[in-house]
Amino acid sequence: MASIFSRIASGEIPSYRVAEDDRHYAFLDINPVAEGHVLVIPKHEVDYIFDLPDDELAALHVFAKRVAEAVKQAIPCTKVGMAVLGLEVPHAHIHLIPLRTESDMDFRRPKLQLTPERMKEIADGIAARLK
Ligand code: 5GP
C-alpha cells in the first residue's frame, strides 16, 4: 500500500500543491506550525530520508531550495528554516517553515487552524513565485 504522501503526490488524496517536478512534490502541511509551512517529498517512497541514495538526497535538497526561495518571497519572514522529523509519516520529507523567531520552529506548539480559502491563497502565493 502506497504511503499517504505517495497518494497525495499522485493526486489520489487532495493537497494544497505548491510545486512539482518528475521526482519531487511540495505541498502545504495540513497542520501548519506557521503560515507557509511546506512539506517537500521525493516521489520515490522511502521512510528514512538518509536511506535515499546520495544523488536523490542531493536533488531533494536542491528542489527544496527552489521552494524555500518562493516561500521567502511569498510569506513575510526573516529566513526559511528546514527540519526533518519523520516521526509521524514514514515517507521522507523536509519541513520548510518561515521563521521570525526560534519558537516558529517549535513543533509542540498548538497548530494553526487555517481556512481552506487561506490555505489555497498561501499555496497559490508560493506557487506564483516559483522560478
Ligand atoms: P513528521 O513525520 O515529520 O513527524 O510529521 C508529519 C507531518 O505531516 C506533520 O506536520 C503533519 O501535520 C503532516 N501531515 C500528516 N498527514 C498529512 C496529510 O494527509 N496531508 C498533509 N498536507 N500533511 C500531513
Model confidence at 1: pLDDT above 90: no
CA of 89 to the centre of ligand 1 (A): 6
CB contact at 8 A, 40 and 59? no
Q: Is residue 95 among the annotated active site residues? A: no
CA of 38 to the centre of ligand 1 (A): 10
Q: What distances in angstroms separate CA 30 from CA 52, 58, 61, 66, 94, one per listed residue?
A: 25, 26, 21, 21, 14
CA of 75 to the centre of ligand 1 (A): 20
Residue ranges of alpha helices (H) inside the chain are: 4-9, 54-74, 116-128
Q: Residue with the nearest Cα to atom 3 of ligand 1?
A: 86
Q: What is the pLDDT of residue 7?
A: 97
* Number of the ligand 1 atom closest to the C-alpha atom of 31: 12
Q: Position 11: which residue type? A: G
Span 5-21, mean pLDDT?
Answer: 97
CB contact at 8 A, 34 and 66? no
Q: Which of 24, 37, 91, 93 is catalytic?
A: 93
Q: Residue with the nearest Cα to atom 1 of ligand 1?
A: 86
CA dihedral 58, 63, 65, 71 (to 10 degrees): -150
- Buried/exposed code over 23-33 (b: 16+ C-beta within 10 A; e: otherwise): ebbbbbbeebb
Is this model's pTM higher than 0.75 or not?
yes
Q: What is the pLDDT of residue 27?
A: 98
